[in-house]
Amino acid sequence: MDTTELHSAYDRLLDAAAVPGLGDAADGGWNADQILAHILSVDASVAAVALGVVAGSRPTFDNRICLDTWNLGRIIAEHSDRAELIDHVRGQATILCDIADQLSEQAAAVLVPSLLLSHDALVLDQPVPLAGLVDGLAEDHVPAHTRQLLELRVAVPGHAAARR
């Protein structure tokens, strides 16, 4: 698989996560640490699915644990600060991309039974090619969370560019 787009998506996400002064979501949604913990959980889950396919097992992808607030809190608590969370996301993204880069066409085409929720709404409940899970990270998941992080920027008085 070609993970060029995925690498770029993570670069943008990590840049957004490193912006100083990220506040809380105006709508009561996740803060930056919760977003990063969610990314870590999703990435580990997709990597595990990919390795399972390569191993010959029939893994499934279910993102419910990646949305669970207790699980997100546990992941956050394992890190001393946001910088450590960012470093973990960077390292895990590298691992995920390395795994995806080495997938054969046959492995990338394996259908993975998938259950995806977003904001308590069912988004997907059907088999997806493994490549589709990986490509979905690059095309939708990571960019959506990058935008979410950028929306957490706190306006600095006298700096009009702070919200752009």
State which residues form the domain around 155: 4-163
Say if strands 121-129 and 61-62 run parallel, antiparallel, or are unpaired: unpaired
Per-residue pLDDT tens digits for 32-82 = 999 999 999 999 999 999 999 999 999 999 999 999 999 999 999 999 999
Q: Which residues neighbour 142 within 8 Å (Cβ) at sequence distance 6 or greater?
A: 6, 9, 10, 12, 13, 39
| Distance set, CA 38 to CA 11, 46, 53, 56 (Å) | 17, 12, 23, 27
Per-residue pLDDT tens digits for 67-80 = 999 999 999 999 99
Which CATH number goes with the domain that contains 78? 1.20.120.450
Domain count within the chain: 1
The pTM of this model reads: 0.92
**Alpha carbon distance, N-terminus to C-terminus of the chain:** 34
The pLDDT score that the predictor gives to residue 161 is 44
